Structure 1
Amino acid sequence: MSIQILNIVLYSHNDKCRILPLKTGQFNVITGASKTGKSALIDIVDYCFGSKECKVPEGPIRRSVSWFGLHLKLNGEEAFIARRCPANRSTSEDCFVEVGNSVNIPNASDICKITNTKGLETMLDGWVGISDNIHEPPEGQTRPPLTATIRHALPLCLQSQDEIIQRNQLFHGTSDNFVAQSLKDTLPYFLGAVDDEYVKKKNEQRKLKKELRNYEKKLNELSALRGDGFEKASLLLAQARDAGMVETNPESWEDIVAELKNVASIPLNQNEYLSENSEYELLSKERKVLLNKKHKIHDEIALVKSFEQDKSSFSKEAKKQKSRLKTIGLFEDSNETNVCPLCSHKLSETIPSEKEIKETFVELSKKFESLSKTKLQLEKPLSELEDELQTTRQSLSENYRKMEAIRATNDYLADVQEEAVKHAHIRGRITLYLESLPELADTIKVEEEVERIRAELDRLDDDLSDEKIQDNLDSIISILGNRLTNWAQKLKLEHSKFPLRFEPKRLTIVADTNGGPVPMKRMGSGENWVGYHLIVHLALHLWFVCKNRPVPNFIFFDQPSQVYFPAEQYNEKSLENVSEEDELALSRMFELVIEVINEVEPNLQVIVTEHADIDKEWYQEAIVERWRDGIKLVPEDWPREE
């Protein structure tokens, strides 16, 4: 993903529009005199990219502009974003966004609030390709985890006039310690030292650790059972073996438990030791028949009683219906068949005569009397069933006395009974023990799963470890160092004969000299500071483009020639006040910029605001606008709000 700037757009309070066109994938120069608004361009870009505060200087620009806008080129699309100029306030949350395959710069009347800075920032994150990410500070540090956004990438793209000549800070806004620390934390992600799937792998790691704890808990439970439980299980199996219930003698705990389950599943039958024709066996069979007969009689008695209850309910209902028909007495004195006997109101239809109604009533009464006299003959079968139940109970008692007599006098049967009780006792203890065991998976399968999870966690731990990230970062820094050293030599910067390296933990560049490391803040000369700012930003953006990292593909430098070409010495298209050595140094600097742009064309855009208007063909071709002779960022005729 990439973002480059097609146009910088300003809207006046009377709906006029000022468009500053830029060339994507190329070197762009806006040259002009002082106080024309060149330095405000970086602040406008920063503000449109979601800055918390509008840093455009107070004065004509803020008084004359109603909205600031950027026309952006995305991957295969275009976008237009705008943000309201806050005028007398420090900021505004009013943001406008339009996206499409091709987007025209909207008219001032079409600009309105569509989203806020949070929504704008989310869209910019998506356009530039920032994926889910998180930086977790080392243990012992109190700052919270941090997610990289477009706001953390932007300091890598902007260099204002007073920043490009700084020896203590290398990046935009890092004079603020909070901004500097945020950049240190997120820079490994932007460089690609942190895996793009870091968050996904981190979540997977947490999930696997939870699964591992659950499986280890199961293994600990099994281990406890194998300790205290192994001896108990072995003892129970030995008792079953002694009683002749099992013959095997397994050694492993799993096999012992499996054998105990087999013993518990065998049904007990104390009669298996008796001959089928023995007296005791015959009495046992007889008892089963008597018990079944007893249960059957109980069911039949219950059925007869339910019939009796239904009959009683039916009789009550019949009496109720008969009493309702007695209201026929209302008609006794009525001779008219077309007059209502209740209200004496004439009826449109003829009602039945008194005689007809009485005849019907008499007929129904006879039927009810016949029905009420009819009795279900249930007493006799009920009495017979109760007699049969009493006889069956007596037979069961007699059967029990005979069985007890045989059992008491037969030594063999006594032994059999004792053996059955013994087996039942052992089987009961085994069943109780097995029921107390938790439902656990096969130990081998659990151990295999634990090993698999541990192997996966080892891989994830390696991918997510600070050591792995640091190794990746060291490798990137080494590659960048080669570029920095070569370019520093090309620009003939101080200490360029020594290896140079970018130091992300301190956000500076360091020369590893024979006398020890020399950071940029200990290097002298504004020319060196500007040169090192330039080559670090070019080297980083070359890496970002080649590795398709989620950083906007533009760099904005404000007046990098100031150390060679002060504004007060300017004479249009003339370098007569600049030494030949400085002129060559200035040319080398801009030629390096063009060289890097060409190396990755069209994926890097460099925008430079300058006082200088160098009479060189390559420089003149790069100029997009000259702000002189009354031409400025904001036209003089725009109205101002006080």
Structure 2
Amino acid sequence: MQLLALALYHRDGRPTPRVVRFRPGALNILTGESETGKSEILDIVDYCLGRSTPSLPDEPIDQTVGWYALLVAFPDSRMLLARPRPAGASTTQAMILTGDTSLDLPRADQLTPNSNVAALRAQLSARLGIEDFRFQPPAGAARSAFNVSIAQATLLCLQNQNEIADKKALFHRQTENGMAQAIKDTLPYFLGAAGPQQALNRHHLNEAQRAQRAAQRKLDDAYRHREAVDAGGVALLRLAQNEGLLDEVPQAPAPEEIRQLLEQALTVTTSVVGPVDLTDRRYQLDEERRALREQLQQLDETLALLDRWQKQGEDFTGELRLQLGRLKAINLLGPEGDHDHSVCPMCTQPLEHPDAPAAEILTLAEELAGELDQARTVQPIRDEHRRSLQSERAAVVERLKVNGAQLRELTASDDRMRHLQDQQVRIARVQGRIDQALTTGSGSPAGGIAQLQDNLVVAQENVAGLQALIDEDDVASETERRLTDIAADMTTWARRLNLGQAAAADEVTISLSQLNVVLRRPQGRLPLNRIGSAKNWIGYHMVAHLALHTYLRRHHRPVPAFLMLDQPTQAFFPAKIKDATTVRDADWDTVTAYFELLRDVADLNDGALQIIVCDHANLTDHPWFQESIVENWRPHDGRRRALIPTDWLD
């Protein structure tokens, strides 16, 4: 695939587009002053080939252009690839036209989106001959699989002015996130060292490794399950032994012995103890105990009352004895007992309250003595009644003791029955767990592990076979061999341009691991970033890409047959230059040598390679250079020439 024409269509729909045409199979030079839009040519080509996000400047292109179109040629057909100006940061819209060699750029009114970027890339990839396959990264790689397409092939065809002078990166967009790895993954395919079969083998290897890991996990799970079953079986054996289902359990029984003992524990039967209703008997005893306690309380109250009577009687008789003793003193009186009791016997004075007569006192004493004799006759009856009550109380207390013993025995019997029932429940629970364990364990017999082991062996053999097949392909060695073929031209052309360290190097080559130019010397490898001067960086970029594309064309690889270079002579002119033709002290001999190499490589490929260069230089003294110019954007007849016509800016 080579480029025939690039067209810019005005946003207002004017019929005449701005067209830049290229010659296929030859050196195309687009020269001119600074700020005329030369560098935008590469970005537009990149955008038309399917890039979603263009890197075009805001002005004046964004203000004027409505559509970009690229006409490309294949050996027997042509394709038109048109993209509308993105309304935002990106767009996926596209217009695709295919036809024979007569297909040309459309009119502005014919531009309409009829496809998208994905379809555009797919059609271009198919036309280029890129085989339909999905690149599978190695197992464990932290990146995703992707479809190989024109998107990766284009990275080998473009070098903008910053990239061609980059000492650390060799390819287009290499420094963007993920691009370097994409180039490393696809360059072996584009060189012919790897293809869909290798990718398919690697995909099958990834699948086989995934199956091997799954088989290993299943086998490990089976082992863990068996170990868990064995440990659980031993625990069940200990429980069965504790409940009396087994007499003796070995300390470390074998798996087969565990199953036999568990089955034995299931055969043990125990007598069933049914529930016994003791509610009525307990109720009777409780009622009896309540009645006895009431009776005991009544007896205690009666005895207490009797004791109070006894105490009061003793107090009364004591008082009677005291008073009687005092009254008996009246018997000591003689005739004095008949004195006048209204007069004090000592002082013979009349008393305010006359004393009682002695006869009355004697009568009272006799009455007290009679009451005291009567109290003495009541005491034996009271004592007999107390003894009767105490005897009756002792009988009640004894009956309470018997009642308590009966209640305790009833409770103990109830506890024994409950314990027996609980034991039956525990035994039933243990036997149920044993039955469940044996049923569950039967789903993973020893034969199951053997089958899983066989599956793992088959998976391992499958992985080993695919790995051997991939090792036989040895993509890395084959890629290195092809890079060595490319290095032959690189070395020759680097010495021709007299690039730094090239004369002393054994070989100038491309390092796939570094994606950069490397010089092999007796004292060791020398990467490009350790070689000074922008002249050398640009020169090595040129020889690397020229040699790479020459190899691709010789071997008919599915990569677009054009190489676009932007400002390859920038190292020889001031940083801010208006027109290189005005610089007289530049190294014009080296500039000429660069362009002569570009011309000779285009001739060497005999029409199979198209080289497009956008540059400030204009070698007016060399007819071949002038014949290679397709656009010269320098003022002519007082009119400014540039990518965007002057009248578009009015």
Q: What TM-score comes out, normalization by structure 1 length?
A: 0.58
1:69 alignment partner in structure 2: 69
Q: Distance in 1 between matches of 2:157 and 2:17?
A: 26
Q: Select which of 548, 557, 562 maps to 1:554.
A: 562
> Aligned ranges for residues 121-520 of structure 1 at < 5 Å?
121-199=121-199, 462=468, 464-465=470-471, 468-496=474-502, 497-498=504-505, 499-520=507-528
For 1:520, the aligned partner's letter is L
2:646 alignment partner in structure 1: 636
Once the two structures are TM-superposed, the CA of residue 206 in structure 1 deviates from its matched residue by 9.3
Q: Deviations over 1:7-55 (max 9, x none)?
A: 0011002323111010000000111111111010111011111112011
Which structure 1 residue ranges, 5 or more long, are not aligned?
213-450
Q: Deviations over 1:551-579 (max 9, x none)?
A: 1111110110111134756667566232x
Q: Distance in 1 between matches of 2:463 and 2:141?
A: 25
Once the two structures are TM-superposed, the CA of residue 548 in structure 1 deviates from its matched residue by 1.1
Q: Deviations over 1:521-551 (max 9, x none)?
A: 1110110000011011111101111111111
Residue aligned with 1:19, SS? strand
For 2:642, the aligned partner's letter is K
Once the two structures are TM-superposed, the CA of residue 140 in structure 1 deviates from its matched residue by 2.7
Once the two structures are TM-superposed, the CA of residue 139 in structure 1 deviates from its matched residue by 3.0
1:111 alignment partner in structure 2: 111
The answer as to whether partners of 1:82 and 1:95 remain within 8 angstroms in 2 is yes
Please tell me whether residue 604 in structure 1 is matched to residue 609 in structure 2.
Answer: yes
Residue aligned with 1:560, SS? coil
- CA 550–571 in structure 1, closer or farther in 2 if over 3 Å, else same: closer
Q: Distance in 1 between matches of 2:130 and 2:156?
A: 15
For 1:584, the aligned partner's letter is D
1:592 alignment partner in structure 2: 597
Q: Distance in 1 between matches of 2:193 and 2:531?
A: 29
Please tell me whether residue 526 in structure 1 is matched to residue 534 in structure 2.
Answer: yes
The more displaced of 68-77 and 478-487 is: 478-487
Q: Distance in 2 between matches of 1:136 and 1:564?
A: 44
Once the two structures are TM-superposed, the CA of residue 477 in structure 1 deviates from its matched residue by 1.6
Residue aligned with 1:121, SS? helix
Which structure 2 residue ranges, 5 or more long, are not aligned?
213-457
For 1:100, the aligned partner's letter is G
Q: Deviations over 1:439-465 (max 9, x none)?
A: xxxxxxxxxxxx9xx999999755533
Structure with larger Rg: 2
1:10 alignment partner in structure 2: 8
For 2:5, the aligned partner's letter is N
Please tell me whether residue 542 in structure 1 is matched to residue 540 in structure 2.
Answer: no
Q: Distance in 2 between matches of 1:530 and 1:609?
A: 14
Q: Deviations over 1:481-501 (max 9, x none)?
A: 222111110110011120222
Residue aligned with 2:86, SS? coil
Once the two structures are TM-superposed, the CA of residue 146 in structure 1 deviates from its matched residue by 2.9
2:96 alignment partner in structure 1: 97
- CA 596–460 in structure 1, closer or farther in 2 if over 3 Å, else same: farther
Q: Distance in 1 between matches of 2:649 and 2:106?
A: 20
The answer as to whether partners of 1:558 and 1:609 remain within 8 angstroms in 2 is yes
- CA 584–135 in structure 1, closer or farther in 2 if over 3 Å, else same: same
Q: Distance in 2 between matches of 1:63 and 1:623?
A: 28
The answer as to whether partners of 1:484 and 1:500 remain within 8 angstroms in 2 is yes
- CA 211–46 in structure 1, closer or farther in 2 if over 3 Å, else same: closer
Q: Distance in 2 between matches of 1:527 and 1:515?
A: 24
For 1:519, the aligned partner's letter is P
Q: Distance in 1 between matches of 2:146 and 2:543?
A: 28
Give the number of aligned pairs: 397
- CA 175–14 in structure 1, closer or farther in 2 if over 3 Å, else same: same
Residue aligned with 1:177, SS? coil
Find runs of 4+ consecutive structure 1 residues off by over 4 angstroms: 199-212, 454-463, 567-575
Instruction: Work out the percentage of aligned pairs sharing the same amino acid.
Output: 32
Q: Deviations over 1:72-123 (max 9, x none)?
A: 0012001111000125x22222211110112121100000010011111111
The answer as to whether partners of 2:39 and 2:614 remain within 8 angstroms in 1 is yes
Once the two structures are TM-superposed, the CA of residue 478 in structure 1 deviates from its matched residue by 1.4
The answer as to whether partners of 2:34 and 2:577 remain within 8 angstroms in 1 is no
The more displaced of 569-578 and 531-540 is: 569-578
The answer as to whether partners of 1:132 and 1:199 remain within 8 angstroms in 2 is no
Q: Deviations over 1:400-427 (max 9, x none)?
A: xxxxxxxxxxxxxxxxxxxxxxxxxxxx
The answer as to whether partners of 2:579 and 2:616 remain within 8 angstroms in 1 is no
For 2:475, the aligned partner's letter is I
For 1:483, the aligned partner's letter is D
1:343 alignment partner in structure 2: none
For 1:545, the aligned partner's letter is R
Q: Deviations over 1:615-635 (max 9, x none)?
A: 211111110111122111111
Once the two structures are TM-superposed, the CA of residue 199 in structure 1 deviates from its matched residue by 4.6
The answer as to whether partners of 2:33 and 2:579 remain within 8 angstroms in 1 is no
Q: Distance in 2 between matches of 1:141 and 1:633?
A: 45
Q: Distance in 2 between matches of 1:211 and 1:531?
A: 50
RMSD: 3.0
2:377 alignment partner in structure 1: none
The answer as to whether partners of 1:157 and 1:555 remain within 8 angstroms in 2 is yes
2:269 alignment partner in structure 1: none
For 1:557, the aligned partner's letter is L
Q: Distance in 2 between matches of 1:100 and 1:72?
A: 11
Q: Distance in 1 between matches of 2:210 and 2:34?
A: 64
Q: Distance in 2 between matches of 1:602 and 1:521?
A: 34
Q: Distance in 2 between matches of 1:560 and 1:188?
A: 27
- CA 518–634 in structure 1, closer or farther in 2 if over 3 Å, else same: same
Q: Distance in 2 between matches of 1:208 and 1:60?
A: 56
The answer as to whether partners of 1:72 and 1:79 remain within 8 angstroms in 2 is yes
Residue aligned with 1:603, SS? coil
Please tell me whether residue 53 in structure 1 is matched to residue 53 in structure 2.
Answer: yes
Q: What TM-score comes out, normalization by structure 2 length?
A: 0.57
The answer as to whether partners of 2:138 and 2:202 remain within 8 angstroms in 1 is no
For 1:534, the aligned partner's letter is M
1:392 alignment partner in structure 2: none
- CA 461–507 in structure 1, closer or farther in 2 if over 3 Å, else same: same
Q: Deviations over 1:340-369 (max 9, x none)?
A: xxxxxxxxxxxxxxxxxxxxxxxxxxxxxx
Please tell me whether residue 622 in structure 1 is matched to residue 621 in structure 2.
Answer: no
- CA 188–572 in structure 1, closer or farther in 2 if over 3 Å, else same: closer
Q: Distance in 2 between matches of 1:157 and 1:565?
A: 25
Once the two structures are TM-superposed, the CA of residue 596 in structure 1 deviates from its matched residue by 1.3
